[in-house]
Structure 1
Amino acid sequence: MGFIAFSINLLEAPNFQNPEKTQFSQLNSNVSSSLNLRAIVMDASISGDSSPTRYKWRKVAYGGMQPGFDDNHTDDTFLEDMVMNANVVKRNMLKVMQDSVSISQYLCVVALVVLVWTYTLRSTLNENSLLLLDVSLLGSGFLILLLTEEMLSLNLLLHYVLNVSFFTTGLYVLAPIYQTLTRSISSDSIWAVTVSLLLLHLFLHDYSGSTIRAPGALKNPNLTSCISLNASIVASVFIASRLPSRLHVFAIMLFSLQVFLFAPLVTYCIRKYSSRLHLLFSFALMAVTLTFVYSLHRLLFVLLVGMLVFVNVVCPYWLIRIQEYKFEINGPWDEAKLCFDITD
């Protein structure tokens, strides 16, 4: 009995189990554990427990779309470079009024031209008076150029004189054509078109310079100033076509073209030479113009005075006041600007 009990105990002890069966059981348990771990990882990835890698947004101009961000995405640093009212110029009332004198000056020049046209159409000025006026204006213009222009040489002066002689000869030859150019058009249509062309001339005129550039000028006249000059010339042709004689037509055309072509050049040279002389000349011109307009018609005098006050006082004050409401923002969204001039 004792031997049988000892044998049973040996069989039940773990040290006496089959080795192959034991290794197979351990391998089976390891595989099961590995499969269970992989399943847990897959479930976690499916359920979204693991967070993906986040890319940092960079501000680039032409980098294309960045992964994880929209094409128009901006972060909190986008408005750090914003600048408000960087280009707003603080203006002085007196300085703006001085700059507006040039506009009033040219308004008076055009008013004087209209006065000469009116007196010529009324036969108050004959052809001899007009020719004397033309010679006086031409001589005074050349004298001002000689006194104010530093780069004017003798050769350039002779060049100007030669061009003026050719110009005058061409006008005298074309005077009969101008006289009969608008014979089939009614006078009312001529007056209406002339007024419209003068308004267009004033609206498009280059008040900062001259269509005929001074010697040494770098910039060429722009398109609007050329249109303005052409409008004034056509208006002069319409007025000249209503005059009775060929000499009248030649004299009035020469006067008009001298004023519209060379008066801006002369006033530009005066302003560049001395600002005080420019102001003195402008106020004297305004006084002369107002005197002649007052003698012609009281209502026109009131209109001209109101226009001068509006240009010299109201508009500068208006410009200063509206500067308070100007709001300009600049930042990285602005277009690139060239820091140099492109010349042909």
Structure 2
Amino acid sequence: MDSSISGNSSPTRSKWRKVAYGGMQPGFDDNHTDESFLEEMVMNANVVKRDMLKVMQDSVSISQYLCIVTLIVLVWIYTLTSTLDEKSLLLLDVSLLALGFLVLLFTEDMLSLSLLLHYVVNIYFFASALYVLAPIYQTLTRSISSDSIWALTISLLILHLFLHDYSGSTIRAPGALKNPNLTSCISLNASVVASVFIASRLPSRLHVFAVMLFSLQVFLFAPLVTYCIKKYSKCLHFLLSFALMGVTLVSVYALHRLLFVLLLGLLIFVNLVCPYWLIRIQEYKFEINGPWDEAKLCFDITD
């Protein structure tokens, strides 16, 4: 009699079940898992298999911008050595500005006449402010040696290239509103400060204005122009990129043979070695997903 009573009164252990926010279940530890825990494990569900040719095509954008920055540095060097005078540089500024507006006009459907006039007015005020501030830029780093200026400029350009948005995700199309992220702002500010350092080494106010206008319009508008060309036509994008590479390599070769070898090696590394390296290390990518991941809420909206 006593044994039957004691057998009926013994507590039965309830079955464990997965509870999202229910806390601990009686009779189980808080880290308990049953035999079905690993049944929902998925390996490499989100791993994207990359194609070598596609990665090489994407790397062309990086080489294109490397060549643009190299051409800017070449203009700085030719200006500092008096090979390029202020009148020629101003003519180059106006030509590049007109060419950029033509590219935007033919590649962007949203670019209306009113928006174009708005840009022209903004550039006029921007150029006027640069001309007024040119004497300040000219004397800004008078007490600093030229070697220090070049060291700071090269460091800022490396920072600019390292943080630059090569994918174009933060570029604002004409008429669109998009807030840039922190890294793109740091990259742009680094290029502006580098331009100010170089302009402070020039002898006249007109030199300073011409160099600042050239540098800022390229750093500010070149990514937008190249992005619009890439979005408009892939073939035109590749044609422009390879033309820039050719012009840059020829210009650097005329300046210094060692710099030519370094630039050529860098372009080969970016366009060939890095894509091959990325494809090879992709084989070692291992991703595990399962019930231990954060729950993702899915809403099924039906009429």
TM-score normalised by L of structure 1:
0.83
Quote how far apart the aligned CAs of 1:338 are: 6.7
Kindly report structure 1 stretches of 4+ aligned residues shifted beyond 6 Å: none
Cα contact 2:90–2:210 (8 A) shared by 1? yes
Q: C-alpha offsets along residues 55-85 of structure 1, whole Å, 9 cap, x if unaligned?
A: 1000111111111100010001111111100
Confirm or deny that 1:171 pairs with 2:130: yes
Moved more, 328-337 or 270-279: 328-337
One-letter identity of the residue aligned with 1:180: T
Moved more, 183-192 or 264-273: 183-192
**Structure ID, larger Rg:** 1
Confirm or deny that 1:68 pairs with 2:27: yes
Report the secondary structure of 2:32's partner residue. coil
One-letter identity of the residue aligned with 1:142: F
Quote how far apart the aligned CAs of 1:267 are: 0.1
Instruction: Identify the residue that residue 77 of structure 1 maps to in structure 2.
Output: 36
Quote how far apart the aligned CAs of 1:189 are: 1.1
Residue of 206, 209, 212 corresponding to 1:247: 206
Distance 1:70 1:97, change over 3 A: same
Confirm or deny that 1:95 pairs with 2:54: yes
Q: C-alpha offsets along residues 73-101 of structure 1, whole Å, 9 cap, x if unaligned?
A: 00011111111000000111111100010
Quote how far apart the aligned CAs of 1:136 are: 0.7
Distance 1:155 1:41 in 2: 94
TM-score normalised by L of structure 2:
0.94
Residue of 279, 286, 292 corresponding to 2:251: 292
Cα contact 1:212–1:262 (8 A) shared by 2? no
List gaps (5 residues or longer) in structure 2: none
**RMSD of equivalent CA atoms:** 1.8
One-letter identity of the residue aligned with 1:202: L
List gaps (5 residues or longer) in structure 1: 1-36
Confirm or deny that 1:238 pairs with 2:197: yes
Cα contact 2:170–2:178 (8 A) shared by 1? no
Distance 2:236 2:204 in 1: 39
Report the secondary structure of 1:258's partner residue. helix
Cα contact 1:211–1:226 (8 A) shared by 2? no
Quote how far apart the aligned CAs of 1:220 are: 2.4
Confirm or deny that 1:55 pairs with 2:10: no
Between 1 and 2, higher relative CO (CA 8 Å, sep ≥ 6) is seen in 2
Percent same amino acid at aligned positions? 84
Instruction: Identify the residue that residue 214 of structure 1 maps to in structure 2.
Output: 173
Distance 2:19 2:142 in 1: 69
Cα contact 1:84–1:327 (8 A) shared by 2? yes
Confirm or deny that 1:123 pairs with 2:119: no
